[in-house]
Structure 1
Amino acid sequence: MQKVFGLSGLVSSALAVVTRLILGAIVLLVLYDVAMRNLARPVAWTASFIEILLIYVAFLPMPWLVRQKGHVCADFLRHALPPGARRAAEKLVCLLAIGICLYLGGIAFELFAENVRTGAYDVRSFDVPRWSIYLPMVVGMWLSAVEFLRFLFGEDSLYAVDVRDIEGF
């Protein structure tokens, strides 16, 4: 199981790097779009391309954020519980998060597989294979489920975090 968690960590870190590159590309595309609107003729494809990239930016870093405890949580209710109940509540939260990630990842996978099978395209200012829109959802959700599983079976707490321990800070 530790090998799976280690591999998940490597893939999650790689996806976080890819996300940073995509964010840089989005910034450059916005600058290009604004410049072209003011200096020459507007470019039709940049807004559509950025919309697709934003889907990747939303889903690809999810497992890394879970691993680094960079997700948003409100744990005021957990702090009101006695210590033993806190750990039980944390396990329940992990189980719920795993279930949600697997369920939503399964729906995204069904849509991904259907669009691969049919060869459907999303028609915008340019044609995009529709499966490419669902792929980051599948990857992000399922790898996030693995990361929540790591908290469920590991010694590390989902809630205990020191900002200095978060990669990138």
Structure 2
Amino acid sequence: MTTDSPGGLLPRLASAHDAISFAGFMLGAGAIGLIVAIYAYEVTMRYFFVAPTMWASDFVSFLLLFSVFLVMPWLTREGGHVAVTLLPDMLPERLGSLLLRLGWIAGSAACLWAAWISLQENIVLFERGTATLTVVRFPKWALTAVITYGLLNSGLYFARLAIFPAAEVQGDGGRHA
């Protein structure tokens, strides 16, 4: 069995990457739901019972970070990132495709570089035992690890887009429902 066959290593790795990213997407969507529930609870407690919480704002901040960086890889996979394609759309198909691939390579390099920087900061924060300066103390490395996850996986999706046809990245023949 070769790595380029349908049952090869690359398709299995791509499927695992997709499964992990979809799980992150679902967790990020759940974080948005929790933000709504926490804010509703905070408003109820503050204005109806005159007993505001001290923790709600902290959790909303943490969950907002989670929602952005857990969802980011899946949105990159689905083409939900910001893309200005005016020039590639105006060029002949072959040249436009090349320009898009160059953009994906640049996006991959930027995300992977930022992920590397973030990883270095994760390590420093972990070694120092640094926690947030909030009512609810939370280890900062756990928060920045989510940033690293999002940047790394988005960088991998941009690389997949640059190297493979869109149909292989999306796993659905390029068709979106």
Please say whether Structure 1 and Structure 2 have the same fold, judged by a TM-score greater than 0.5: yes
Tell me whether 1:24 sits opposite 2:33 in the alignment.
yes
Does the 8 A contact of 2:38 with 2:60 survive in 1? Answer: yes
Aligned residues between the structures = 161
Q: Give the letter aligned to residue 23 of structure 2.
A: A
Does the 8 A contact of 1:5 with 1:147 survive in 2? Answer: no
Query: In structure 1, what is the equivalent of residue 7 of structure 2?
Result: none
RMSD (Å) for aligned C-alpha atoms? 1.5
Report Cα offsets for 1:27-62 as digits up to 9, x if no partner: 100000101111231111101111111111111111
Report Cα offsets for 1:147-168 as digits up to 9, x if no partner: 112111212179xxxxx815xx
Does the 8 A contact of 1:108 with 1:134 survive in 2? Answer: yes
Task: Give the number of the structure with larger relative contact order, counting CA–CA contacts within 8 Å between residues 6 or more apart.
Answer: 1
Tell me whether 1:8 sits opposite 2:35 in the alignment.
no
2:61 to 27, 44, 51: 51
1:156 to 120, 142, 166: 166
How far apart, CA to CA, are the structure 2 residues paired with 1:31 and 1:5?
39
Q: Give the letter aligned to residue 101 of structure 2.
A: K
Does the 8 A contact of 1:48 with 1:125 survive in 2? Answer: yes
Q: Give the letter aligned to residue 24 of structure 2.
A: L
SS at match of 1:165: coil
Give unmatched runs, 5+ long, in structure 2: 1-9, 170-174
Query: In structure 2, what is the equivalent of residue 66 of structure 1?
Result: 76
How far apart, CA to CA, are the structure 1 residues paired with 2:59 and 2:38?
9
Q: How many Å apart are 1:106 and its aligned residue?
A: 0.9
Q: Give the letter aligned to residue 58 of structure 1.
A: V
How far apart, CA to CA, are the structure 2 residues paired with 1:103 and 1:16?
22
Q: Give the structure-2-normalised TM-score.
A: 0.86
Query: In structure 2, what is the equivalent of residue 84 of structure 1?
Result: 94
How far apart, CA to CA, are the structure 2 residues paired with 1:3 and 1:147?
15
Does the 8 A contact of 2:29 with 2:71 survive in 1? Answer: no
Give unmatched runs, 5+ long, in structure 1: 159-163
Q: Give the structure-1-normalised TM-score.
A: 0.90
Q: Give the letter aligned to residue 129 of structure 1.
A: P
Q: Percent identity?
A: 24
SS at match of 1:123: coil
Query: In structure 2, what is the equivalent of residue 130 of structure 1?
Result: 140
Does the 8 A contact of 2:42 with 2:53 survive in 1? Answer: yes
Does the 8 A contact of 1:5 with 1:146 survive in 2? Answer: no
Does the 8 A contact of 1:78 with 1:86 survive in 2? Answer: yes
